[in-house]
Chains A and B, each alone.
Chain A
Amino acid sequence: MSVILSTGTGIAIGLLGLAMLLCAIRLVRGPSVADRVLALDTLYVNSLALLMTLGIRLAEPAFFDAALLIALLGFLATVALAKYRLQGDIID
């Protein structure tokens, strides 16, 4: 691990942590349910980028599988929450 890569991943992890903190603030404050769903959606996308950055920093390819799982489950969760608010029913 070179100095350039460790510095770059360190800065990226800091920025992504700040982004996830802002999403958490919107998740707590959000006036409507749609705001909270949007905050959760942004939170999982940011955590995806954070997992990729950690995978580069630790040179560990196993982080991909976790990222792929989070991408699939996060999309399903967003669709399920939005459809539940829209119709009061997830599967019809």
Chain B
Amino acid sequence: MTEFATTATDLVIAALLVGGSSFALIGSIGLARFRDFYKRIHGPTKATTLGVGCALLASSIFFTRLQGSFSSRELLIAIFLFITAPISAHLMVKTALAEDPASSPPPQPAAAQDPSSTTASAVPSTGTSTVKAPTAG
């Protein structure tokens, strides 16, 4: 490889690394500075995934040049992260909603006038005896 191509590849790798870590830093600033949990989860789940993607791409280019053959192991981590990041973000939002039910969105107005709620009140008459049973013991 010529001198110019080596320098150009070095520049691409360094730019990807600095850009990716800047994205990770911006996401972490959002995590540390926003006031609400639902605002805080917005920064890291997007910016940090992009930052790690840039770092993985830089690493793939560097080790492809170093070893002379295509280095595909970074692709494995990138695919795994891109699949699992939305799943973990979804679970964390569900956890926050379960901890603070007052912050969940209001229910639909059509569900308030549900006609099945009047008929359902007659059903648990048999269940009252089983509920009272532990108080005797």
Contacts and interface: CB of A to CB of B under 8 A. Distances in A.
Which of B6, B10, B74: most chain A CB closer than 10 A? B10
A34 B48 contact: no
B91 A78 contact: yes
A74 B117 CA distance: 44
Contacts of A16: 21, 24-25
Query: Mostly helix, strand, loop or mixed at chain A's interface?
Result: helix
Interface residues of A, number: 49
Nearest to A61: B63
A89 B52 CA distance: 31
A18 B74 CA distance: 24
A2 B12 CA distance: 13
Pick the 9 closest A-B CB pairs, nearest first.
Answer: A8-B14, A19-B28, A82-B91, A34-B96, A15-B21, A42-B44, A12-B21, A22-B32, A12-B17
